Structure 1
């Protein structure tokens, strides 16, 4: 009796699964999901060393120069050779934010916080490419808002 019930349950779930698979909408259309195509050309990086305006107040600044060949590992961080507090006088690079010298609890420390050590987790170089998604963002200054004290 138990074997017959188990067999009936197996046949019923198999039949239901076949019906569901045939009626589920295909998300990828006629192209197989594992299809490959030719790779596009690599983008040209913007390396003009011009600082870009941020799109919103807490946006991490973008990297305006090439970082090709930079070592960024647990053992070394090439970015710090110019952007660390003690090297900015000689390099002329902007200093990393003081928030990079804070612990998770807001305590100031003498060196860069381990959670802020891997720069490219937040800061990215820019490529000269067409945006993947149309952007309708407008800065507050474009909307008619004026900075406090400007009138």
Structure 2
């Protein structure tokens, strides 16, 4: 009677041990076959760092790649202070300052709380601009982009047939 209970406990533990052992044997094969995007093939090898990419600062608004994409920053933000007490972006892009600066106004969604209620000032959850908006650099892409817009695929508006 005692030995029957022992087999019920030992079988799942043995199976779990075999699975862990098999995965441990397979992991080195996976790590060797993974392609590298950048860096040296040997982890401890000394190699020259690639040059830092230059920021695109032409002040030309970029086309968005998809609906609801946050606009990219078309100018340098080096030296901009962005902290709990100061946000230099708002000195040009806040609604009150856009006429004088010529900068586009931030979206009205930045003045809404989570429930969609309008606020008098920028929502705290939208205050740190660089969480969504990023400057662009002239760096080569790590992976080739094969994205094609719907208009390039032959899609037509509804009712155009």
Q: What's the CA shift for 1:133?
A: 1.2
Evaluate the alpha carbon distance shift between residue 144 and residue 80 of structure 1 in structure 2; reply closer, same or farther with a 3 A threshold: same
1:63 aligns with 2:73: yes
Distance in 2, matches of 1:114 and 1:103, equals: 8
> Structure 1 residue 101 and structure 2 residue 105: aligned?
no
Q: How many residues align?
A: 134
Query: Residues of 2 paired with 1:126 and 1:79: CA distance?
Result: 16
Q: TM-score, normalised by structure 2?
A: 0.72
The structure whose residues are more often helix, as a share, is: 2
Stretches of structure 2 that go unaligned for 5 or more consecutive residues are 1-16, 34-40
Unpaired runs of 5+ in structure 1?
1-12
| Equivalent in the alignment of 2:92 | 82
Q: CA deviation at 1:143?
A: 2.2
- Distance in 2, matches of 1:93 and 1:21, equals 58
